[in-house]
Amino acid sequence: MQGTTWRWIAILALALGVLVASGCGDDDDEGGGSAATTTAPAQEFAAGTTMARLQEAGEITIGVKYDVPPFGFKNPRSNAIEGFDIDIGKAIAADLGVRPKFIEAISDNRIPFLKDGTADLILSTMTINAERDEEIDFSEPYFIARGRILVKKTNNEINGVDDLAGKEVCTVLGSTYEETLKKQAPRAERRLVDTYSECLELVQNGAVDAESTDDVILTGHIIQDDSLKLVGEPLTTEPYGAGIKDGDKEFKEFVDGSIQKFKDDGRWARTYQKWIGRYTGEDQEPPTMTLQEAIDLSK
Amino acid sequence: MSSWIELLTENFDALASGFWVTCRLVVGSFLLAAIVGTFVAALRVAPSKWLQRAGGVYVETFRNIPLLVLLFIAYFGLRRAGLPINTWTAGISALGLYTAAYVAEVLRSGVFAVSRGQIEAALSLGFDQRETLRRIVLPQAMRTVISPLGSITIAMIKNSVIVGGAVAINDLLKESRIIASRTFETEAAFFWAAVGYLLLTVAATLAIRRLEHRYAIRR
């Protein structure tokens, strides 16, 4: 015993050394895919507005999903963040003449991120509804999704929302489906996780019977794993809007204008084709629903 | 502050159910940790070298794998491998087996804290092996292990939030996050969650105090 004491002291010293070293090496590698084309400032803005502040900083921080193909996801090959939401974010940043910096904002923390200034803008498959509109401001709707149910192809028991009674259904904490399921399938057991990729895993390994969320997100799952299918009629209509800090009128107008331009000049249709139409074989027109209609829909 | 109390009264059922889930998780894991931990500690002080090694392998395995990874293995891994383990079994076994490794180490060090001289003295006074263990070694070992076991229990209560997050059990933290995401009253929701955890850790602390008092040396 006694002879090995020095070894233990050596190991202890080593462990301490490793701890100290790892504590120091805290490097920041956030914001992948921020190397976008920076055009010359398109517009001058009055001092004190969010736009002027962002131009001063030369950067806009946009909260997006990192695990929701085809809206916001990390490309495993290039490690860049890509998707429909990302392309809209890049367009808005280009109109401002600043660099977009993308950070991960999951459903549960995106509204706090806007409130505390961690993110300047949220583009993370966020459905416009009345409760959220009390907390933050929304842009006009830039996409319309529909709520659906996803099950394994081998599952013949669940063919619609009424079959969910007594079954376990996964959805994401802080998403609108928590309430939707409570209302439309009150006897289903809801399993709430942080991200859609966790839901996908739970459906794949059979821990839950079904997943319910927006059709485009579920289509993303089916692209990853074709042993899954969508069942039943759409449960809900989910208009997506960009999240803006509550009361920032000028910035909301700017974002609305930028999104309107994106819709009008054909970029929206091309982007839709690039991320969604390619897989579903359908074309789609940009949404014409207004923000007020979207809010009324949720009441 | 009044809105905080309102949040509590309006969401009391959800918070209470989360608290109850956390209690069951903690009690289940504690029992498992106590049983497995004692068994492993017994292996580590056993007279056979091979049994000692088996105990050592257990401790090093469960102490060196992060709890979250254990949970992923216990839940997602085993399910992928075709074993339909349920949420509670996976959660309790991961947290319980993880904590058991720490319990085993504390118990072992407690037994080793009783000096060899005392055992020799007891044996030479005519106590047999069993009596020496029961009357001399264990009462003294007990005194040294109570306080570290208390720390482990409190750490386990706090570690239970990792279980709730990983395997989608609606424990206290998860329920308060659900409330926070619905009402946007993040501070109040997490405040009540903190109060709930504090109730559990304070209860554990008081229980440990009592035990310490009972086994204290009267000088």
Q: Which chain A residues are Cβ-neighbours of B75 within 8 angstroms?
A: 207
Q: Are A190 and A183 in contact (CB under 8 A)?
A: no
Q: Are A126 and A110 in contact (CB under 8 A)?
A: yes
Does the distance separating the beta carbons of A178 and B181 come in below 8 Å?
Answer: yes
Q: What is the pLDDT of residue B105?
A: 95
Segments of chain A assigned to CATH 3.40.190.10: 50-142+241-290, 145-238
Q: What is the pLDDT of residue A220?
A: 86
Chain B interface disruption, residue of A113, A168, A172, A205, most B CBs within 10 A: A205
- pLDDT at position A27 over 50: no
**Quick check: helix, strand or coil at residue A147?**
strand
Can you give the C-alpha Rg of chain A in angstroms? Answer: 22
Q: What is the pLDDT of residue A246?
A: 94
The CATH number assigned to the domain holding B32 equals 1.10.3720.10
Q: How many residues does chain A have?
A: 299
For residue A199, the distance in angstroms to the closest alpha carbon of chain B comes to 10
Enumerate helices (H) and strands (E) in chain B, giving the number of each: 11, 0
Q: What is the pLDDT of residue A245?
A: 95
Does the distance separating the beta carbons of B182 and A170 come in below 8 Å?
Answer: no
pLDDT digits (tens, 9 = 90+) for A277-296: 887 777 888 999 999 999 99
**Quick check: helix, strand or coil at residue B17?**
helix
Chain A interface disruption, residue of B68, B184, B190, most A CBs within 10 A: B184
pLDDT digits (tens, 9 = 90+) for B36-90: 999 999 999 888 999 999 999 999 999 999 999 999 999 888 888 888 888 899 9
Q: What is d(CA A9, CA A15) in angstroms, rounded to the nearest whole number?
A: 10
Q: What is d(CA A264, CA A27) in angstroms, rounded to the nearest whole number?
A: 41
pLDDT digits (tens, 9 = 90+) for A122-175: 999 999 999 999 999 999 999 999 999 999 999 999 999 999 999 999 999 888
Question: Average per-residue pLDDT in chain A?
Answer: 86
For residue A177, the distance in angstroms to the closest alpha carbon of chain B comes to 11
From A108, A170, A191, residue closest to B181, measured CB to CB: A108
Shortest CA distance to B33 belongs to which of B21, B23, B25? B25
Instruction: Return the number of CB contacts < 8 Å for A and B.
Output: 39
Reported as half-sphere exposure (CB side, CA atoms, 13 A), residue A53 has a value of: 10
Evaluate whether residue B182 is within a structural domain.
yes
Q: What is the pLDDT of residue A244?
A: 96
The continuous run of DSSP H or E covering A162 comes out as none
Evaluate whether residue B67 is within a structural domain.
yes
Handedness of CA A138, A144, A148, A150 (dihedral sign): negative
Q: What is d(CA A273, CA A284) in angstroms, rounded to the nearest whole number?
A: 8
Residue B82: give the domain boundaries.
2-214
Confidence band, pLDDT 50/70/90 cuts, at residue A34? very low
- pLDDT at position A242 over 70: yes
Confidence band, pLDDT 50/70/90 cuts, at residue A36? very low
Q: What is the pLDDT of residue A16?
A: 59
Does the distance separating the beta carbons of A179 and B168 come in below 8 Å?
Answer: no
Q: What is the pLDDT of residue A13?
A: 64
Phi and psi for A47 in degrees, rounded to 5? Answer: -60, 145
For residue B214, the distance in angstroms to the closest alpha carbon of chain A comes to 34
Q: What is d(CA A279, CA A274) in angstroms, rounded to the nearest whole number?
A: 9
Q: What is d(CA B49, CA B55) in angstroms, rounded to the nearest whole number?
A: 10
User: Under CATH, domain A50-142+241-290 is a member of which superfamily?
Assistant: Periplasmic binding protein-like II (3.40.190.10)
More confident residue, A130 or A10: A130
- pLDDT at position B152 over 90: yes
The topology under which CATH files domain A145-238 is D-Maltodextrin-Binding Protein; domain 2 (3.40.190)
Q: What is the pLDDT of residue B12?
A: 93
Phi and psi for A189 in degrees, rounded to 5? Answer: -90, 120
Confidence band, pLDDT 50/70/90 cuts, at residue A195? confident
For residue A275, the distance in angstroms to the closest alpha carbon of chain B comes to 29
pLDDT digits (tens, 9 = 90+) for A247-277: 999 999 999 999 999 999 999 999 999 998 8
More confident residue, B83 or B156: B156
- pLDDT at position A38 over 50: no
Mean pLDDT of A230-241: 92
- pLDDT at position B18 over 50: yes
Q: What is d(CA B141, CA B149) in angstroms, rounded to the nearest whole number?
A: 12
Q: Decide: pTM greater than 0.90.
A: no
- pLDDT at position A234 over 70: yes
Q: What is d(CA A34, CA A61) in angstroms, rounded to the nearest whole number?
A: 10
Cβ-based neighbours of B147, under 8 Å, separated by 6 or more: B208, B212
Q: What is the pLDDT of residue A108?
A: 85
Q: What is the pLDDT of residue A111?
A: 92
Q: Are A157 and A229 in contact (CB under 8 A)?
A: no
Q: What is the pLDDT of residue A33?
A: 42
Confidence band, pLDDT 50/70/90 cuts, at residue A8? low
Q: Are A135 and A246 in contact (CB under 8 A)?
A: yes
Q: What is the pLDDT of residue A4?
A: 61
Residue A60 per-residue DSSP state? E
- pLDDT at position A196 over 70: yes
Does the distance separating the beta carbons of A112 and B182 come in below 8 Å?
Answer: no
For residue B17, the distance in angstroms to the closest alpha carbon of chain A comes to 14
pLDDT digits (tens, 9 = 90+) for B181-217: 878 788 899 999 999 999 999 999 999 999 988 888 7
Q: Which chain B residues are Cβ-neighbours of A116 within 8 angstroms?
A: none
Chain B interface disruption, residue of A1, A202, A204, A211, most B CBs within 10 A: A202
Q: What is the pLDDT of residue A142?
A: 96
Evaluate whether residue B219 is within a structural domain.
no
Strand partners, A211: A150, A170
3-state secondary structure B85-133: CCHHHHHHHHHHHHHHHHHHHHHHHHHHCCCHHHHHHHHHCCCCHHHHH
When divided into structural domains, chain B yields a total of 1
Does the distance separating the beta carbons of A198 and B182 come in below 8 Å?
Answer: no
Interface residues on A facing B, Cβ-Cβ cutoff 8 A: 107-108, 111-112, 131, 134-135, 170, 173-174, 178-179, 191-194, 198, 201-202, 205-207
Pairing relation of β-strands A72-74 and A81-82? antiparallel
Q: What is the pLDDT of residue A11?
A: 63
Q: What is the pLDDT of residue A223?
A: 83
Evaluate whether residue B41 is within a structural domain.
yes
Q: Are B44 and B52 in contact (CB under 8 A)?
A: yes
Q: What is d(CA B9, CA A263) in angstroms, rounded to the nearest whole number?
A: 46
Q: What is d(CA B162, CA B68) in angstroms, rounded to the nearest whole number?
A: 7
